Amino acid sequence: MKRACVLLADGFEETEALTVADLLRRAGTEVTLAAVSDGLFVTGANGITVQADAFLRDTDLSDTDLLVLPGGMPGTTNLESCKTVQETIDTFDRQKKYIGAICAAPAILLGKAHRLAGRRATCYPGMESYLSEGTAVTDPVVVSDHFITSRGIGTAIPFALQLIELLFGRGKAASVAEGVVSSWK
């Protein structure tokens, strides 16, 4: 069983987090929505409140294959200010486990923290300066080693399908894409 953890902080971009969680679950991934706040009810950037499955601080991620960092403001900066989030990203990076980041998250959580040096990456338009140690591109989704980055809410489905392809192969990603009537190729 493949496992993923999607981090939720107040102000997260709802579509980026929930689309990824939904499509990963459709593919057969065990997905944990992990709150980094003091409560399991986390309110997104657009006022939608979601109940997380667990607190990040109490979640054993040793068997987790993928860490997902949604964007949104102030969600991304709330993730950035959480010491446990920073330690979790560092652990996944050291272990070369997949780290998916979308919208502002590639810039703020990966680029600003010098985690993308020498790699290609994409992020929300206007935040490319944070990717200066790597190569900023405008592709909707970029895979560079174990980092998967994406531009924003409009790329959430291709981002999720790319994560599925990495975890399960192209056939599973194509099957999920067909099931949700996506033109992903």
Question: In this structure, what CATH number is given to the domain that contains residue 74?
Answer: 3.40.50.880
pLDDT value of position 184: 72
CA distance 23 to 45: 21
- For 62-73, write each residue's pLDDT tens digit: 999 999 999 999
Which token pair is 61?
Answer: 């991620």
Say how many domains are in the chain.
1
Does some domain include residue 185?
A: no
Does some domain include residue 183?
A: no
Q: Which of 5, 82, 103, 123 is catalytic?
A: 103
Active-site residue, 5 included: no
Does some domain include residue 160?
A: yes
pLDDT value of position 156: 98
pLDDT value of position 183: 85
Does some domain include residue 130?
A: yes
Chain mean pLDDT for the chain: 97
pLDDT value of position 67: 98
- Residue 123 domain boundaries: 3-177
Average pLDDT over residues 42-48: 98
- For 129-141, write each residue's pLDDT tens digit: 999 899 999 999 9
Does some domain include residue 105?
A: yes
Does some domain include residue 58?
A: yes
